Amino acid sequence: MANSSSGETVLQRAMRVLQCFDAENARLGASDIARRSDLPSSTAHRLVVELTSVKLLERFADGKYGISTHAWETFVRANPLERLRLQAQSILGDVHDELGQYVSL
C-alpha cells in the first residue's frame, strides 16, 4: 500500500535506493543516494538507515554505504544459476587443467 504523495510504496522506494549501486558506484554517500534515487534527502536517509539495520546495506568507515555481504549471500542463494554453477565447477576445473586457461560459465 502506498503511503507517499508519489503513490510509491516503501518497498518501491527502498528498491530505488538499492538500484543506485552498480559496478562503478559500489560505495555511495547518503547525499549521493538521495540524488541518484531522486528521493528527498530525509526519505533517502531514513531508508538507508533501515536498509542498514536489516543488513541489506553496509556502512563503511568512510561513512559511505554499499550493498552488504549479507545481501549478496541472500541473493546468490536464491539464484537458480548458482546450482548450475556449482554443478559445472568440477567440469570447468578439468577444462582449466587441460587448457591451462581461465574458463567460466
pLDDT above 70 covers a percentage of the chain that reads 94
- Which residue, 85, 83, 77, is CA-closest to 105? 85
Same domain, 44 and 1: yes
Torsion of CA 76, 24, 41, 70, to 10 degrees: 20
- What's the CATH code of the domain at 31? 1.10.10.10
Whether residue 94 lies inside any domain: the answer is yes
| Separation of alpha carbons 104 and 72, rounded Å | 20
Is 62 in the same domain as 102? no
Q: Are residues 60 and 9 in the same domain?
A: yes
CA–CA gap between residue 105 and residue 102 (Å, rounded)? 11
pLDDT in tens, 7-55: 899 999 999 999 999 999 999 999 999 999 999 999 999 999 999 999 9
Domain of residue 47, residue span: 1-67
Residue 32: CB atoms within 10 Å: 15
* Residue spans of alpha helices (H) in 40-79: 41-53, 69-77
Overall domain count for the chain: 2
